[in-house]
A and B are shown apart, each in its own frame.
Chain A
Amino acid sequence: MSKQIKLWQGNEACAEGAMYAGCDFFGGYPITPSTEVAEILAAMLPKVGGKFIQMEDEIASMGTILGAAAAGAKSMTSTSGPGFSLMMELLGYGCMAEIPCVIVNVQRAGPSTGLPTKGAQADVMQTRWGTHGDHPTIALCPSSIEESFKLTVKAFNLAEKFRMPVILLLDEFIGHMREKMEVPEPGELEIYNHPRPKVDPKEYQHYADGSSVGGPYAAMGSGYRFNITGLTHDKKGFPTARLDEIQWKMDRLRDKIDQHLAELTEVEEEFLDDAEIVIFSYGAAARSSQQAVRQARAKGIKVGLLRPTTIWPFPDRIVTDVLKKCKTMLVAEISQGQLVYEVERCNKSNTPVVPVLRYDGEMITPAQILKAVEEAQK
């Protein structure tokens, strides 16, 4: 049987990917340019017995998906810039309480209400540092329609496995762009559902050591009575002020990411083997970068592309290594240069790092990037 071919938007592929992953709960508040995700799920979820609810604001949206997830749902919300800002408090809650869910942020140009119908990639630092307190985040960033689908599925898998909110960092350009894609057959992509505990309810610890990554944890109402709180808590989930337990919790939040960097870090590389100039770029900007690389190669310039599909945790080690080998690294992004800092942080070889930026709401073009490549070559 031949596969289904669809001409989808990024937002549409994201909603379809969520259904493929087994999402059965969506709570959200409409905001441009993310609304298609909600609209599609409003139609699809009830068909499979899932729940869709339009909440009174983005704070409530985050609250309701966390509540549903605590009760065992595979839950999700979608939003854009200002809505994402409102979600920060409960994003932190989800990380602290270790509740899996997926948050889609279809980035638009800001600050503030900014340019609602125009794109940007300027929420990348908010995605990492938007909440208060110390904790890592996971964020995936697709560059194509097919990737919007696949990375949504992956976001659910990682959320389930790492027990935390996972962010799908889209941007308006990808969200609203249409592109042909082959729809994966059921069973073709891996779906990870975390195991449920088998121990006696009296023995159950909601935050036992073994369940920090990939281990079993219970849903509320499944016969295991436990406590969830945003307060620093012990293994059973009860608030604690004991120094050793505080330390344990904070290390656990950090280590579950830090000790799985190899598994979490994913990058795509093109023409890197002999590249003297490397473009670091993600999401929509990476598409123009890819085009620029091909044009430059046609002119005989040794240029390559390093494109992360996981932006958090940042691919430190890979970036450091590539910087060591190349002569110049260009950072092409649709912002005033948020990732330039990250690349510089990894720069142990004093390799020149050149920002290639656009932030007027329009797409960064291959021509702009090609020009920067040609200048760097001089």
Chain B
Amino acid sequence: MKIHPAYEMLRPGKKFPNVWCPGCGHGIVQGAIIRAVERLGINRDEVAMVSGIGCSSRMPVYVDFNSLHTAHGRALPFATGVKLHNPKLHVIVITGDGDALAIGGNHFIHAARRNMELTVILMNNNIYGMTGGQYSPTTPIGKRASTAPYGCAERDFDACALAIAAGAVFAARGTVYNAVELDKMIEKALTKKGFALVEALSPCPTLYGRLNKEGSAVKMMQTQKANTINLKAAEKLTPQELEGKIITGIFHDGEAQPYTEVYQQIIAKAQGK
């Protein structure tokens, strides 16, 4: 029997079955990360996966890397310490919309500003999943959540725009429906020297879907397909035509000296070299 190459990177035994609900998008994102690491031929000993708290942030337990499951919102400071102390490690940060943009919002903008070399995979399901469906900073206005029974009154964050404004070198948005495109985005992000964000739209059928009557997991993926539009295609449309659409693609792919390199120069200066 041929064993799937990804199998090697999983941690069988007590760790499975995982906590994710059937139909949750997070498993597809996990697959995309594993495939990207595999294709790039990165040694697993040199990957550190650091997460915060939430459904998505449970991922480090399942994948056989160096793994660090931290506190709510704090994945980026921990990851900063890991990377700065051992710059050889590829540090992949697993986070969700509540984790990265609400409680961890300040860490998010500052990690991007410093251009810390981190590959940040933000799984955006527009809701707090693990806590039971409360609204998050990416719940669209008017949508329902357990703490927004009359519809969400707050405007939502655009994680990619926020990261770019704060100084990220790479920002892309993909969906679990377009898994092939998502694979490529994560692969690209892993090669960037600097703060690289991939926002993966990952449906939560159990809470967001149910509270907003969006149907089954399959139905939600179909809606995701219908509602998202690629950046290239979107450029040809008017703002009216884009109303209600979610744009995917690579929004920014730049270069800037990464923090650890700048810090090496500081060390050289301090040592009078």
A residues contacting B by CB (< 8 A) are 24-25, 27, 43, 46-47, 49, 51, 53, 55-57, 59-73, 75, 89-90, 93, 219-221, 223, 225-231, 234, 238-239
Contact = CB atoms under 8 A, between A and B. Distances in A.
B269 to A, nearest CB: 8
A68 B69 contact: no
Interface string B61-86: 10011111111001011111110111
Contact of B81 (A47, A73, A223, A231): A73
A239 B15 CA distance: 8
Contacts of A43: 270
Nearest to A67: B81
Contacts of B269: 46
Contacts of B48: 71, 220-221
A57 B107 CA distance: 9
Given A55-B110, A225-B65, A228-B69, 8 more contacts: A46-B271, A61-B77, A63-B107, A67-B68, A67-B77, A70-B81, A238-B14, A238-B61
Given A25-B84, A51-B85, A221-B86, A59 B77 contact: yes
Interface string B250-273: 000000000000010011011100
B78 A227 contact: no
A228 B74 CA distance: 14
A183 B78 CA distance: 34
15 contacts: A49-B267, A51-B85, A55-B110, A63-B77, A63-B107, A67-B81, A71-B85, A220-B66, A221-B45, A221-B86, A227-B60, A227-B67, A228-B68, A229-B68, A231-B69
Contacts of B65: 225
B69 A65 contact: no
Interface bin, chain B: 35 or more
The 5 closest A-B pairs by CB, nearest first: A67-B81, A63-B77, A68-B81, A46-B270, A67-B78
Nearest to A101: B81
B67 A228 contact: yes
Contact of A67 (B45, B79, B267): B79
A70 B78 contact: yes
Contacts of B15: 238
A64 B78 contact: yes
Interface of B: 14-15, 44-46, 48, 50, 60-61, 64-71, 74, 76-82, 84-86, 88-89, 106-107, 110, 263, 266-267, 269-271
A64 B86 contact: no
Given A46-B271, A221-B89, A239-B61, A229 B82 contact: no
Interface SS majority for chain A: mixed
B64 A67 contact: no
Given A27-B81, A43-B270, A46-B271, A70 B71 contact: no
B69 A227 contact: yes
Q: Which of A27, A49, A221 is the most central at the interface, judged by chain B CB atoms within 10 Å of its CB?
A: A221
A66 B81 contact: yes
Q: Which of A27, A47, A57, A70 is the most central at the interface, judged by chain B CB atoms within 10 Å of its CB?
A: A70
A221 B43 CA distance: 10
Contacts of A219: 86
Contacts of A63: 70-71, 74, 76-78, 80-81, 107
B107 A56 contact: yes
Contacts of A231: 69
B32 to A, nearest CB: 21
A60 B110 contact: yes
Nearest to B43: A223
B271 A71 contact: no
A93 B70 contact: yes
Given A56-B107, A60-B110, A225 B82 contact: no
B167 to A, nearest CB: 13
A204 to B, nearest CB: 12
Contacts of A221: 45-46, 48, 66, 82, 86, 88-89
Nearest to B64: A225
A216 to B, nearest CB: 17
Contacts of B74: 59-60, 63, 90
B66 A225 contact: yes
B82 A60 contact: no
Nearest to A229: B69
Nearest to A92: B71
Given A90-B71, A93-B70, A230-B69, A225 B44 contact: yes
A95 to B, nearest CB: 12
Q: Which of A55, A64, A65 is the most central at the interface, judged by chain B CB atoms within 10 Å of its CB?
A: A64
Contacts of A47: 270-271
A72 B86 contact: yes
